[in-house]
Structure 1
Amino acid sequence: MSWMDDGGFEIRTFADKAGRAMAQMSFRTSTGHFDIILGKTEVQRIRRECGRAIKEIDQKKGQE
């Protein structure tokens, strides 16, 4: 089972004190626990980068 399946990665949404939608990205590893607070723009940027990485992986898979 991967570290992601074991609950080592999680993203949850919440509202900040001003009522804005935010996201908390959590990583749990053998060396510690890390939380990162993200706004909508940052989540969108991560989404774009993940989409780009998936596209590159798929292209490399097709070349093999």
Structure 2
Amino acid sequence: MNACTGTGHLVRLYLRRDRITATGWTLFLALLVAGMLPYYGGIFTTEEARLTPEPRRSPGVPNWWARE
């Protein structure tokens, strides 16, 4: 099956002569991809993220996301 099935309306919107629409869709897609990069390890690989030092915190502030 074609992975792009159902995206014809998006392609038609993008390929219109209206530059504002094309610019808007390009910006939307760029932001969407940029938002997904950290989730898929595009910015930090697992090893780099593991070796990155944690920020300093005051002793009274619990580390909620590291609870076991």
Question: TM-score, length-normalised on structure 1?
Answer: 0.43
Bigger CA radius of gyration? 2
| Bigger share in helix | 2
| Bigger share in strand | 1
